[in-house]
Structure 1
Amino acid sequence: MAVVIDPGGLDPHHGGNERGKEQWFEIGTVEHSHHPRRGDIAIFAAGWNCFFRFNEDLKHHAAAQEDTMTSPIASTLENLTAALKANPEKARAKYAPATATLADGLKCSVTGPSGEKIVTDMTKAMGGEASAPNPGWYFRASIAACCSTAIAMNAARRGINLTALEVTVEADGDNRGILGMDASVSAGHAALRTHVKIAAENATAEQLQDLVRFSEAHSPVGCTVRDAPPNTLRLEVV
């Protein structure tokens, strides 16, 4: 991930980066290659017509930050952090399983122990009916949602008031893999690209960059993709 900061000429309506007591920043990007299991992050603010205003009234800024730190999210996370520091063993968890049952054709119903439910299907080109998103889309959706959630959680903990947050995950692949046409072609995603659009009312561009980098590095789904933990297969013939 590489990010470029351009502090000049950002407000197209006012011809500069200063207007009275306000300071404007733009966050741009450059493409950078990583391990194919690691998505590239692109952070844009001005390209999305989002500008960061920083008021020189430090008292107002401090008050806004204090209000955020007393939010339910921040309080809950701080309490949880304190509890886990006191007893690290409680941090270990066994997550709820997801069970996919073939319903009709290539459509699957995926359920969880607490009533969770989604439906998947394949495209018509793959023999499905395109009645629901395919599993690959849900995979990308989980990366995007997990990254977005991690950013929001850490923003609350840092007292950053987000005004906009959007995470998009793109991927490339080769359909010969799922069809088993070539043993050298993987059925998995060949590359991932994560694009984050973010804006806040009380944070600098540098603070937002640090927030996104830290959050992406601690996003459970993203970390699972990068770390590639063992996946044990157990087969039961009934």
Structure 2
Amino acid sequence: MTISIPILSTPRAIATDPEIRSAQTRVIDRLSADPKAAKVTIAMTGRVAEGLACVVRQGKFSAVMDMGPAMGGAALGPSPGFFARAAIAGCVSIAIKMTAAREGLNVRAVDVTVETDFDDLAIFGLGTRNAAPTETRISLALDSPEPEPVLEDLTARVLACDPWFLALRDKQRVVTSIAITA
């Protein structure tokens, strides 16, 4: 089985804090003028055929997830759990950096560590425990000359509105549907 992932041929230059602030200001102004435009649905598709590798696609991007050989996979990509933790790490660190840029705060870097504890028996339906993570720890390290209380306030405000941090922390309604093709 061969899986190809398109690579963007021309990487964009990294935006400076003033460019980040300007871009966000335009989005905030547009959404403030039309709050209905802020309600969006984003769809991703995924497919597993032969083996365990799952190719997911959203717009122009795609990624491959797979399990390692110990689980019957071919390790053609990271596991789904990798992407779940990556979503949290990326969303939180990017949100801190972009909020700091928007507010004129000097945050040079944000390092995030996401640790998740599991009961691996439960993912096989063995025992009576739940397969959901038992605990997730998120550690943040900010490289910044700003005063510590300012950075603590920034982080608290960011976490209060960060979608993937909140998806992890808060219950939400999840709706499933199943279609069977014979």
TM interval, shorter chain, is 0.7 to 0.9
Q: Deviations along 1:107-161, whole A, 9 cap, x unmatched?
A: 111112x221111111222222223211011101100000011101110111012
1:234 aligned to 2:177?
A: yes
Matched residues, percent identical? 33
The 5 Å alignment of 1:164-175 reads 164-175=109-120
Which of 157, 163, 168 aligns to 1:225? It is: 168
Deviation at 1:204, TM superposition (A): 0.8
State the aligned residue count.
Answer: 166
4+ runs of 1 displaced by more than 4 Å?
Answer: none
Q: What CA deviation, in whole Å up to 9, does each residue of 1:149-190 have, x standing for no partner?
A: 1101110111012222111111000111210112x3222211
In the TM superposition, 1:3-152 aligns within 5 A as: 71-95=18-42, 97-112=43-58, 114-152=59-97
Contact 2:67 2:73 (8 Å CA) reproduced: yes
Unaligned runs of 5+ in 1: 1-66
Unaligned runs of 5+ in 2: 1-15
Give 1 or 2: higher strand fraction.
Answer: 1
* Superposition deviation, residue 87 in structure 1: 2.3
Partner of 1:29: none
Greater fraction of residues in helix: 2
RMSD across aligned C-alpha pairs, in angstroms? 1.7
Tell me which residue corresponds to 1:193: 137
Q: Does the CA contact (< 8 Å) of 1:150 and 1:218 recur in 2?
A: no
Q: Which has the larger radius of gyration?
A: 1
* TM-score normalized with structure 2 length: 0.84
CA distance in 1, matches of 2:20, 2:71: 43
Give, as a single letter, the amino acid of the residue that structure 1 aligns with 2:39: R
What amino acid maps onto 1:221 in structure 2?
W
CA contact (8 A) 1:146 1:222 kept: yes
Mapped to 1, the partners of 2:62 and 2:155 lie a distance apart of 30
The residue number in structure 1 matching 2:8 is none
Bigger relative contact order, structure 1 or 2 (CA pairs below 8 A, ≥6 apart): 1
Cα distance in 2, alignment partners of residues 94 and 204 from structure 1: 38
For residues 120 and 54 of structure 2, the distance between their equivalents in structure 1, rounded to whole angstroms, comes to: 20
Partners in 1 of 2:60 and 2:35 — Cα distance? 29
Shift of 1:224: 1.4
Contact 1:140–1:169 (CA<8 Å) still a contact in 2? yes
1:185-232 deviation per Cα after TM superposition (whole angstroms, max 9, x unaligned): 22221111101111123x111111111121122111111122221111
Within the candidate set 154, 158, 181, 2:103 is matched to 158
Q: CA deviation at 1:99?
A: 1.3
- In the TM superposition, 1:205-220 aligns within 5 A as 205-220=148-163
